[in-house]
Structure 1
Amino acid sequence: MTFLSEELVFPSVENANYEGLLAVGGDLSVKRLLLAYRSGIFPWFNDDALLMWWSPDPRMVLYPQNIRISKSMRKVLRDGRFRLTKNTCFKAVLQACSSVPREGQDGTWITANMKKAYERLHENGYASSYEVWENNTLVGGLYGVDLGTIFCGESMFSKVSNASKFAFIKLAQELDEKNYRLIDCQIHTDHLDSLGAEEIPRSEFIQILQAENKGGE
């Protein structure tokens, strides 16, 4: 276990334990968060816990061209029930995501400090939200960190059936058109699996990140 200091550095992801926990401590500055995501690391903790940094193996990802759209969702996409916007109410999406427990997790990990951190990322152009509307009411959406050719999904919410699926499918279609390499989904869930996401070795994920990081230099 590595305890981070004020120095802007993370240990190798190979030092993570079997659950994927790599380090504790540090801060949620824009620079540290960007370094984390570009290194295959993300924060995840509860209100009463230390700031914890994770890099699980295997890694759940979606290659945008592999998005799986069921017959019922194709109908939803066609019928005009939902309307999608991007970055029109980032804070509202954060709030909605924090009020609904994340799948496979007790409570919410999106604390007040985490909200402020992702708002700073958004203000600096590194975090985006996708909003789903029904009759001018926000009913679903997602947000994540955009690294340019890799989108690191953080959380989704849905107040009506299929709203978060609609956001995720639209995200994947947009990123496919823009030639993004992948969407980082972090850990396995049946929901993500049903949408075409798959687990790959962490080493493969890191290689993709490193190649993209070099390409952006």
Structure 2
Amino acid sequence: MIEIPKNFVLSSVDTPFADVELALKEPNGLIALGGELTTSRLLSAYRQGIFPWYGKSEPVLWHSPDPRMVITLERLHISKSLNKTIRSDKFEVKVNTNFERVIHHCKTIQRKNQDSTRIDNDMAHAYTEFHSQGFAHSVEVYEDSKLVDRLYGVALGQVFFGESMFSLVRDASKIAFVYLLINMPYKLVDCQVENPHLKSLGAFNIRRRVFTKLLKELL
């Protein structure tokens, strides 16, 4: 059984997060539990390199993993096949045209080797509200007017914190990330934890202390 430090419990709206360097090693990066997904709480979390990540029937769990996977334009790798797909104009990319639909798809889609999504009704509502206030954004990829890929995340300063993505068509999700890096004003995209799919695009791991230092420079 995991022993949770008392200062990890968000007992009130004013309870601050503990220093991220105190986060547990197992589960990786757990730094807090409880609290509500309010705009003020989410803003405080992201500015410190913390994000909510919990499963069905669990309380809200907050994480700041070490290492942290990120991607930058300088490290972006576009394969010959992906470049060919991009240049074919097969897909159309739009931004923020239907955020609620995007988060609904991310919430309900069945994912390979996963019993359920980590996006519950409370999270969907919170990020929809976050979007209405200009903090959360969606990047949508269409093929023949059909939404085939979507990702959403949080933008603060020059950092985009990726939250969820899913693709129905090969290469579509890569197109969304390429568009995000090339056409939007972010110097750093947070991918949270290691992902082979994003690693193939050039995403790489950095230590948490390096990540939080970058946040102070870019937010």
TM interval, shorter chain, is over 0.9
Shift of 1:162: 1.3
Contact 1:58/1:199, CA 8 A, preserved across alignment: yes
CA distance in 2, matches of 1:61, 1:137: 29
- 2:219 is the counterpart of 1:210: no
Contact kept? 1:140, 1:167, Cα under 8 Å: yes
Answer yes or no: is the 8 Å Cα contact 1:59–1:201 preserved in 2.
yes
Does residue 9 of structure 1 match 2:9? Answer: no
Partner residue, 1:198: 204
- Give distance in 2, aligned partners of 1:154 and 1:57: 17
8 Å contact from structure 1 (residues 60, 200) kept in 2: yes
When residues 103 and 127 of structure 1 are mapped into structure 2, their CA distance, relative to the original with a 3 A threshold, is farther
Change (3 A) 1:117 1:48: same
* Secondary structure, aligned partner of 2:74: helix
Q: Using a 3 Å threshold, how does the CA distance of structure 1 residues 103 and 208 change in structure 2: closer, same or farther?
A: farther
Superposed, which structure 2 residues align to 1:1-217 within 5 Å? 1=4, 2-6=8-12, 7-18=14-25, 19-100=28-109, 106-175=115-184, 178=185, 180-213=186-219
Q: Which stretches in structure 1 are left out of the alignment for 5+ residues? A: none
* Contiguous gaps of at least 5 residues in structure 2: none
Q: Which residue identity is paired with 2:123?
A: M
User: How far 1:8 moved relative to its partner?
Assistant: 4.6
TM-score, normalised via structure 2 length: 0.92
Contact kept in structure 2, 1:102 and 1:155, CA below 8 Å = no
Change (3 A) 1:28 1:103: farther
Secondary structure of residue in 2 paired with 1:196: coil
Which aligned runs of 4 or more in structure 1 are off by greater than 2 angstroms? 99-106
Paired with 1:96 and 1:140, the residues of 2 have a C-alpha distance of 9
Change (3 A) 1:104 1:5: farther
Identical positions, percent: 45
Matched-pair contact (CA < 8 Å) for 1:65–1:172: no
Structure 1 residue 47: Cα displacement: 2.2
Which amino acid letter does the alignment assign opposite residue 13 of structure 1? V
Distance 2:80 2:218 in 1: 34
Shift in CA distance, 211/52, structure 1 to aligned 2, threshold 3 Å: same
Q: Secondary structure at the match of 1:140?
A: strand
Contact map agreement 1:8 1:32 (CA 8 A) in 2 = no
User: CA-to-partner distance for each residue in 1:27-58, whole Å, 9 max, x for gaps?
Assistant: 10001001100100000011200100000000
CA deviations on 1:118-165 (whole Å, 9 max, x unpaired) are 001100000000111111111111100000200000111111111111
Bigger shift: residues 8-17 or 96-105: 96-105
Distance 1:103-1:187 versus aligned 2 partners, 3 A rule = farther
Deviations 1:36-95 (A, max 9, x none): 001000000112001000000000000122211111110110111100000001011111
Separation in 2, partners of 1:104, 1:150: 30
Distance in structure 2 (CA, Å) of the matches to 1:23 and 1:104? 27
- AA paired with 1:49? E
Query: What TM-score results when the alignment is normalised by the length of structure 1?
Result: 0.92
